[in-house]
Structure formats: structure tokens, C-alpha cells
């Protein structure tokens, strides 16, 4: 039988760089042929060969209700019938903004945009405009979109100015970017000691999803908040992945339970708030947000910002996940998946650890949970790649890279979890020890 995925990939490479429109889709990290998806429903995807997969990517997080949820689909169809785009305000933009504000303490106003990258770069510009400072801190392994100033890596030492990690990014653009190791309080303190009054903000993924799943320690989070406050810098939470995914109030609400009174200054949202449509947002206090045009001097604009179809999709999604008990049930389901995978690995005599929060999870072929990017890079990549392909062959679609988190939806059933663990048990038993 002709492999339609392979045929499509060969065709795509002639028309699209690398055959994909986002690099991780090319399967370069794991090898093999990407699956071209024809359709999706609930917890499942079907590829070009009409093979079904249990989906643990969920479009990289947005599909928290699963694919094609009836209430969301109905809202999108009704909105589309009224018009795709107006380039003018709509009432639904206000409703979505109000829904976000209602669930996330510390957010008094939001600005809607079209992508997480756009939201992240706008939040950085806002922090710089509000403080009048140029330097900012980010952490190795945290991804905040592909804006030039954010595509950097650390050099040697604890607090080294960044160097571009992409061609086309001039060194001058990232000269004010400081890149530190994640979960390293000493490095953070050293950076503020050296540059504290020049730092506009610290930008962080509170639970990093782009080095698999690595959560910030309480001591690290507490230090970030304290040092930002003491030095007049803003703490920017990139919750593109974690917002409305790990909890209704996002990761900020998770940390606030352990650190009473804890609150970031600026929030970046995406994925779930758009329900799978191109939509993102950034927000904060009225004082900070008042710096944005047309009120203030920080310019940001977008033709498709607050798109009426995207806002309908996002609002319908938020309405569903705000139901009582939703996140408790989702977290229990996700935890059962992680526990099942780790248990299956231990039965096979293979080291594996895992972690989860809400509907987001990760696992590593290692003896202990990594705390930073360097440790993640040292975990068993070859074993992960073999495991990935074994699971894919058995109809389980995991992220095609060691460095990506996974996602569970409310559409996943107990049978889906059991089938996934059973497949993992088979694959793990066949892997070299």
C-alpha cells in the first residue's frame, strides 16, 4: 500500500522549507516520516493513511476539550456565518477579555493578539516601556516565541549576555538579553547584583514546556518575585502553555497556593484561550497596561487581533473549562497516565520519571526529574526516540521530540489511558536495557 504520509512529505519539501511550517513537525529530532493529519475528533487523530492515533499533543496544548467539541464547533460556525474579520471592535472581544480577567488574579486588562510569539514580544516591549530600561532576563530552555530579542542562549559564566541562536538575528539586538540557568537562585541573585537597576523584567515559563516538563522550584520562584520587587523590575509569566491548562488560574494560581500573596506583574497567554484558533493575549494591571497605545507611548497593533471567529472559539472553550470540578478530573486523568507510564518502565527495568499539573505532563528516561535545560539535554535521547516510534506504530501520538511537554484533554477516556499504558508496556519491554 502506498504510504500517503511519505508521498505528501516528499511533495511538501518541494514547496515548503523542510516540508513543514513549524520545525518540530519535520520529525528531525526523532527521525522518520511526519504524519500528515486528515481529521480529528475527540481524543483522536487520523493521518493520511487513515490510521487512528490517541493524541497527546492536542495542537501543542489548545485542544483541552479534545477536537471538535460540539459547543465550540457551534460557536465557531455561528461566528463565521456573521463574518470572518472586520478590522473593527466586537462585543465578543470584551467578553473574552472579561473571562480571562475573571479567572486570573492580577490581570486587570488584556490586549488580544494573534500568536504566542506576538504576545511575548509585546509583553517585553511593554515591560521596557513601563520601566524605561533595556536589559531583561530569560532562562535557558524557556521558549517565548521567535522574536529576535528572545532567540538567545547562554554563554559561559552565571550571568552572560546572550548570543543569537538563529541566523538573521544581529548580536546588537540581543546585547541587552541576559540568559541564566533555570532554577538557579545564585545565578539570579548575581545577575541582579550586577545589573539590577538596568533590568526591565524577568521573563519565565513557570512550568517550562519547551524542555519537556520542568517546573520552577518554590525557592526559585520566590527569589524571582523578591528580586524584581526590590529592583523595580517586572515579573513576566509566559503562560502560553500553562494558562488555563494546568489550572483555571494558570500556573500563577498554582504558585500562589504555596506562596501566599504571590503574583506576577505581566501575563502572556495563548493556546487554550483560542481553543485552537490563532489567538493570544498579554495582560496585567491597569497601571502597566495604560502604557499601551492609544493611551500610552508603547506601540502595538494587529489587523487580525481579536478576530471574531477566534474569539468565539476561545470564549466557548473557556466557558466549558470553567465548569465545577473540570480541572480536578483532568488532573486525575493526567496523573494516571504519567503514573502508568512510569510504572510500566520500572516493570521493564528502565529508569523513567514523570510529572504533571492539570492537563500538562512530561516524562524523562532518567533517575530523577531534571531541574534545568542542561540536565534535560543529558537524558537518554536515543531511548526516547525508540520509545516514540514504538508508540507511534501502536497508534499513540506523542510529541516528536524529547524537549516537548504532552497534553491530555477531557475527551480522553479511561480506556484511552489504559490503551496507552498497555502500548508503553509492550514498547518498553522490547527496548535495550
For the chain, state the CA radius of gyration: 21
Say which of 44, 56, 143, 403 is annotated catalytic.
143
Q: List helix spans (H) across 259-303.
A: 286-289
Name the grid cell of 57: 499533543
Strand (E) or helix (H) holding 22 = none
Say which of 238, 265, 355, 416 is annotated catalytic.
Answer: 238
Q: How far apart are the first and last CA of the chain?
A: 34
Number of H helices, E strands in the chain: 13, 19
Assign residue 232 a region: left if phi > 0, alpha if psi is -120 to 50, beta otherwise? left
Q: Are 431 and 350 in contact (CB under 8 A)?
A: yes
Cα–Cα distance measured from residue 46 to residue 162, given in angstroms and rounded to the nearest whole number: 42
Residue 244's Cα: distance from chain center in Å?
11
> Chain-centre distance of CA 7, in angstroms?
31
Strand order in the sheet with 406-407: 353-357, 360-364, 406-407
Q: How do strand 360-364 and strand 280-284 relate by DSSP bridges?
A: unpaired
Say which residues have a Cβ less than 8 Å from residue 269's Cβ, sequence separation at least 6.
Answer: 100, 110, 119, 239, 240, 243, 244, 250, 280, 281, 282, 283
**Cα three-residue angle 35-272-320, rounded to 5 degrees:** 115
The C-alpha cell at 361 is 505532563
* DSSP bridge pairs for 152: 164
Cβ–Cβ under 8 Å, residues 279 and 310: yes
Active site residue 238: yes
Q: How many CB atoms lie within 10 A of CB 65?
A: 24
Helix residue spans in 174-246 (DSSP H): 185-195, 218-231
Closest CA to 61 of 189, 238, 179: 238
Our answer to whether residue 55 is catalytic in this structure is no
- Is 143 tagged catalytic? yes
Given the residues 55, 138, 182, 271, the one annotated as active site:
271
Contacts of 412 (CB under 8 A, 6+ apart): 43, 54, 66, 333
Q: Which residues have a catalytic role annotated?
A: 143, 238, 271
Amino acid at each position: 500500500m502506498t504510504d500517503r504520509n511519505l508521498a505528501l512529505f516528499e511533495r511538501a519539501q518541494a514547496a515548503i522549507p523542510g516540508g513543514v511550517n513549524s520545525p518540530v513537525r519535520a520529525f528531525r529530532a526523532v527521525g522518520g516520516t511526519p504524519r500528515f493529519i486528515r481529521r480529528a475528533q475527540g481524543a483522536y487523530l487520523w493521518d493520511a493513511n487513515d490510521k487512528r492515533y490517541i493524541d497527546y499533543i492536542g495542537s501543542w496544548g489548545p485542544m483541552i476539550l479534545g477536537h471538535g467539541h460540539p459547543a465550540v464547533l457551534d460557536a465557531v460556525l455561528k461566528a463565521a456565518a456573521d463574518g470572518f474579520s472586520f478590522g473593527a471592535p466586537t462585543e465578543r472581544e470584551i467578553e473574552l477579555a472579561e473571562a480571562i480577567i475573571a479567572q486570573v488574579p492580577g490581570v486587570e486588562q488584556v490586549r488580544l493578539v494573534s500568536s504566542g510569539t506576538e504576545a511575548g514580544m509585546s509583553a517585553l516591549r511593554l515591560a521596557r516601556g513601563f520601566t524605561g530600561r533595556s536589559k531583561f532576563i530569560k532562562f535557558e530552555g524557556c521558549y517565548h516565541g521567535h522574536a529576535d530579542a528572545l532567540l538567545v542562549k547562554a554563554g559561559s559564566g552565571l550571568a552572560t549576555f546572550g548570543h543569537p541562536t538563529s541566523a538573521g538575528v544581529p548580536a546588537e539586538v540581543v546585547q541587552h538579553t541576559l540568559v541564566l540557568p533555570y532554577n538557579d537562585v545564585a545565578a539570579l541573585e548575581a545577575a541582579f547584583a550586577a545589573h539590577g537597576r538596568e533590568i526591565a523584567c524577568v521573563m519565565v515559563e513557570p512550568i517550562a514546556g519547551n524542555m519537556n516538563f520542568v517546573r520552577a522550584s518554590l525557592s526559585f520562584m520566590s527569589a524571582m518575585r523578591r528580586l524584581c520587587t526590590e529592583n523595580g523590575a517586572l515579573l513576566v509569566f509566559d503562560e502560553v502553555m500553562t494558562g488555563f491548562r494546568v489550572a483555571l488560574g494558570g500556573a500563577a494560581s498554582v504558585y500562589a497556593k504555596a506562596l501566599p500573596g504571590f503574583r506576577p506583574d505581566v501575563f502572556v497567554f495563548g493556546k487554550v484561550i483560542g481553543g485552537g484558533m490563532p489567538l493570544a493575549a498579554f495582560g496585567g494591571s491597569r497601571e502597566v497596561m495604560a502604557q499601551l497605545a492609544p493611551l500610552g507611548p508603547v506601540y502595538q497593533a494587529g489587523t487580525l487581533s481579536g478576530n471574531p471567529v477566534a474569539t468565539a472559539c476561545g470564549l466557548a472553550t473557556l466557558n466549558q473549562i470553567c465548569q465545577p470540578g473540570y480541572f480536578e478530573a483532568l488532573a486525575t486523568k493526567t496523573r494516571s497516565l504519567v503514573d502508568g507510564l512510569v510504572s510500566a518502565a520500572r516493570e521493564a527495568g528502565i529508569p523513567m520519571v514523570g510529572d504533571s499539573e492539570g492537563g500538562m505532563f512530561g516524562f524523562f528516561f532518567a533517575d530523577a526529574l531534571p531541574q534545568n535545560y542542561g540536565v534535560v539535554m543529558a537524558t537518554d535521547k536515543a531511548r526516547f526516540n525508540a520509545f516514540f516510534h514504538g508508540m507511534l506504530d501502536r497508534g499513540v501520538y506523542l510529541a516528536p521530540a524529547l524537549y516537548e511537554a504532552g497534553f491530555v484533554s477531557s475527551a480522553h477516556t479511561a480506556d484511552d489511558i489504559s490503551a496507552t499504558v498497555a502500548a508503553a508496556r509492550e514498547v518498553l519491554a522490547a527496548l535495550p536495557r
